[in-house]
Amino acid sequence: MKLTTVLALALATPGSALVRFHCSQLVVERLDPLVNPGMVPSAHVHQIVGGNAFNATMDPKADLPAESTCTSCQFEDDFSNYWTAVLYFKSRNGTYKRVPQLGNNQFEKANGGLTIYYMQDPIYESKQTSKVKAFQPGFRMFTGSVTARTLPEALPFRQLTYVCMDSWTQRSPETIAFPTRKCKSGIMTSIRFPTCWDGKNLDSPDHIAHMSYPETGTFESGGPCPTTHPVRVAQVMYEVIWDTTVFKDEEWPVDGSSPFVWSFGDGTGYANHGDYLFGWKGDALQKILDANCHFMTNCSKETGLKLQSIDAMNRCMQRPKVEEDVNGWLNALPGGYHAEYGHA
Ligand SMILES: *[C@@H]1O[C@H](CO)[C@@H](O)[C@H](O)[C@H]1NC(C)=O
Ligand SMILES: *[C@@H]1O[C@H](CO)[C@@H](O)[C@H](O)[C@H]1NC(C)=O
Ligand SMILES: *[C@@H]1O[C@H](CO)[C@@H](O)[C@H](O)[C@H]1NC(C)=O
């Protein structure tokens, strides 16, 4: 109940967003330099945005701004990579089709991808006054549990949610399982990364342990960081819009169950997850975090950082390194996965 209230509050004023910018699709393929480094193909399909130095192997010491020739993100200096799994629709006859993605509210012309927020205070605080230190080169993190198939398993990551959108700008209520009904304007997933850092490690073996959610409450409710992870960092949040409206009535399951499946087989929605690999040039992110940014144009003025056009973002694409069909009607998900609906 409390969580719902907090989340509803947090999303009541999406318009007051501070640093909220879009990144178009860079590539959709089975690569994962964080969890499956060097594996071509990696376990499951991802949609990746950001700098075009993205590869199967990415050395934490690499200079991403120097190695990239373009970024699909709006800030010209952001060569980070941001990625999530992709959603598939399981048709009545058992075959799978990738759910198309859309730009977001105010980024309608973007070719899919995701919207990124960086904030130092909750999104509904229009004055972002807290000082937070930007991430450093080599910083990476992961959030979510790929094996979660039940509510208790998903609760540690309850800040990863779905909105069944009946209108383009609807942002609540949020659920942590897949919506089961037809959503008139599609489904939005939100991925909120942890905001407490151990202050030492740029990464950890599971890519999670160096970070923590607040000890109690949430970032939005001002929850304190645990003593093990005392350094409060910016909240990184992704929004991804899935165009679930393209599927015909006769393709939906007859029994009213959810047809949606993550690319690694999760049919419950509990295993939503996200990956982050820092790659901003110089102190660009710190400038943003120190500025009085409200919306994008204002943020550019405040920081002197350049924004590129949506057309330029859309042009920054990578050719997939893994050649396989990820878009057709498929008998199995790439990697051989099938929809699974939790364990007893
Ligand atoms: C990309 O990763 C592959 C596999 O690890 C490696 O062979 C290749 O050299 C990398 N490409 C670049 C441009 O670094
Ligand atoms: C399954 O359904 C989809 C969507 O209606 C259709 O395009 C595809 O050809 C069907 N496949 C088989 C094997 O029946
Ligand atoms: C940006 O917006 C904030 C809040 O409205 C305002 O205080 C600041 O002066 C604006 N900056 C510029 C350069 O317009």
Ligand 3 centroid distance, CA of 299 (Å): 8
| Predicted model pTM | 0.93
Q: What one-letter code names the amino acid at 208?
A: I
Ligand 3 centroid distance, CA of 302 (Å): 7
Nearest CA to ligand 2 atom 12: 93
What lines the ligand 3 site, CB under 6 Å? Answer: 292, 294, 298, 301-302
Ligand 3 centroid distance, CA of 294 (Å): 7
91: pLDDT strictly greater than 50: yes
Whether 45 contacts 263, CB under 8 Å: yes
18: pLDDT strictly greater than 90: no
Q: Which of 235, 212, 269 is nearest to 88 (CA)?
A: 269
Q: What pLDDT, on a 0 to 100 scale, did the predictor assign at position 180?
A: 86
Question: 11 falls in which pLDDT band (50, 70, 90)?
Answer: very low
pLDDT tens for each residue of 309-330: 999 999 999 999 999 999 999 9
Distance in angstroms (rounded) separating the CA atoms of residues 217 and 58 = 35
DSSP string across 90-159: E-TTS-EEEPPEE--TT-TTS-S-EEEEEESS-TT-SS-----PPP-TT-EEEEE-TT--SHHHHGGGTT
Question: 8 falls in which pLDDT band (50, 70, 90)?
Answer: very low
Q: Which of 126, 162, 159, 119 is nearest to 143 (CA)?
A: 159
5: pLDDT strictly greater than 60: no
Radius of gyration in angstroms for the set of CA atoms belonging to the chain, rounded to a whole number: 19
| Helical segments of the chain, H only | 2-10, 64-67, 151-154, 284-290, 295-303, 310-315
Nearest CA to ligand 3 atom 1: 298
What does the chain come to in residues?
344
Q: Beta strand pairing status for 140-144 and 273-277?
A: antiparallel
Nearest CA to ligand 2 atom 9: 329
Residue 331: half-sphere exposure toward Cβ, Cα within 13 Å: 0
Question: 121 falls in which pLDDT band (50, 70, 90)?
Answer: confident
Ligand 3 centroid distance, CA of 30 (Å): 42
Distance in angstroms (rounded) separating the CA atoms of residues 24 and 113 = 4
